[in-house]
Amino acid sequence: MRATALLLTVFILLVPSVGTAGVPNDPAKVTPLAAGITIPEFSVRNADNSIRHFDAHAFPRPAVLIFYRGGWCPYCNRHLGAIKRVEGEIRRLGFDLLFLSADRPERLYASLSEPNIDYTLLSDAEMQASRALGIAYHLDNASMAKYGEYGVDLEAASGQTHHELPVPAVFIVDTQGVIRFVHANPDYTTRISPEDLLAAARRVANGQP
């Protein structure tokens, strides 16, 4: 019996560290869904806390899904501001432009440094979308403490205790729910440029790979 317990302890120590439901503890180890894959179903919330459901059969228009960490993140605020340069052209190409945040619904707009932003912001505080698309990662206690030193309370921001964030990412999805373009970078300080995003949207709109 003691030998069995010892073997079980060794096995547990050898298992790679992961967060909830297999979510990795290291953003460099996320595995985003690739182009050509049909998105799985998931639900997020609008700013009024109503549910918005996504599935492969419910895309009346192609969509650009931009995942960001939250309004508390200065890099996210900077990126959202920069995308305004190409917002109009992306919409003219026929795309819905949707921004998904780890913030809870009540904080989606209130927490942004740019109060006049009129994007469609959606709350993925429960991380359904981020997990489904393979970009969620779990923060360990040391990381949570470090965020706290900078005045960032992730539990207050998300209303959740899962301690997960999305790797900043972009997915362009066609009307069949098929992913046509993916950009994800575990380095949250580096984002896709507005010009590169527009170029990708044009390629998808023109049926190019």
List per-block mean pLDDT (blocks of 10 residues) for the chain, which spans 209 residues.
Answer: 38 38 91 97 95 88 96 94 96 97 93 74 97 97 94 96 98 96 97 98 92
Residue 10 domain-assigned (yes or no): no
The pLDDT value recorded for residue 21 is: 57
The pLDDT value recorded for residue 116 is: 66
Residue 75 domain-assigned (yes or no): yes
Residue 159 domain-assigned (yes or no): yes
Number of domains in the chain: 1
Residue 69 domain-assigned (yes or no): yes
Residue 122 domain-assigned (yes or no): yes
Residue 18 domain-assigned (yes or no): no
Domain of 84, in residue numbers: 32-205
The pLDDT value recorded for residue 15 is: 37
The pLDDT value recorded for residue 13 is: 33
- Residue matched to tokens 């959606």: 122
Residue 4 domain-assigned (yes or no): no
Residue 93 domain-assigned (yes or no): yes
Instruction: Return the CATH number at 54.
Output: 3.40.30.10
